[in-house]
Amino acid sequence: MREQPADPRPPRRRPPSLRAPRAWLYALTPLILTGCSWDLLNPSGSIGVQTRNLIVLATALMLLVVIPVIILTLVFAWRYRETNTKAEYAPRWSHSTKIEVVVWGIPCVIVALLGVIIWDTTHKLDPFRPLESKVTPVEVDVVALDWKWLFIYPQYGVASLNELPIPVGTPINFRITAESTMNALFIPRLGSMVYAMAGMQTKLHLIADETGVFDGRSAAYSGSGFSDMHFRTVATSRADFDAWIERARASGNTLDAATYRKLEQPSSKDAVTVYAKVEPRLFQGVVDQYMASNGDICRADSPVTLGAIAGANMPPLPAQQTTLER
Please compute the mean of the pLDDT values over residues 107-114 and round it to a whole number: 90
For residue 183, give the nearest of 147, 132, 236, 150 by alpha carbon.
147
For residue 29, which phi and psi values (nearest 5 degrees)?
-55, -40
On whether the CB atoms of residues 235 and 191 are closer than 8 A, the answer is no
The torsion of the CA quartet 75, 76, 77, 80, rounded to 10 degrees, works out to 120
pTM (2 decimals)? Answer: 0.74
Share of the chain above pLDDT 90, in %: 42
Instruction: Give the per-residue pLDDT at 262.
Output: 92
Burial of 85 (0-12, 13-18, 19+ CB in 10 A): exposed
Q: What integer pLDDT is reported at residue 21 of this predicted model?
A: 57
pLDDT reading at 23 higher than 70:
no
What is the reported pLDDT for 163? 95
- What is the mean predicted confidence (pLDDT) over 270-289? 90
Indicate the domain borders of the chain.
41-85+95-124, 138-299
Assess whether pLDDT exceeds 90 at residue 174.
yes
Please, what CATH class does the domain formed by 138-299 belong to?
Answer: mainly beta
Give the three-state DSSP class for 214: strand
Mean pLDDT, residues 135-160 taken together: 94
The CATH number of 41-85+95-124, from 1.10.10, 1.10.3470, 3.30.310, 1.10.287, is 1.10.287
Summarised one tens digit per residue, pLDDT across range 284-319 is 889 888 876 655 666 655 665 566 656 655 555 444
Is pLDDT at 273 greater than 90 in this prediction? yes
Q: What is the per-residue pLDDT for 3?
A: 57
Looking at residue 255, its pLDDT comes to 93
pLDDT band of residue 31 (cuts 50, 70, 90) is low
Report the C-alpha gap between 151 and 183 in whole angstroms.
Answer: 15
Burial (CB count <10 Å: 0-12, 13-18, 19+), residue 16 = exposed
Per-residue pLDDT reduced to its tens digit, 219-248: 888 888 888 899 999 999 999 999 999 999
Question: pLDDT band at 326, cuts 50/70/90?
Answer: very low
Q: Are 235 and 255 in contact (CB under 8 A)?
A: no
Does residue 294 or residue 92 have the better pLDDT? 92
Any alpha helices (H) in 35-167, and if so which ranges?
46-79, 97-124
Nearest to 197 by CA among 189, 214, 215, 185: 185
Which pLDDT value is given to residue 214? 93
pLDDT band at 18 (very low <50, low <70, confident <90, very high): very low
Q: Which tops the pLDDT comparison, 323 or 62?
A: 62
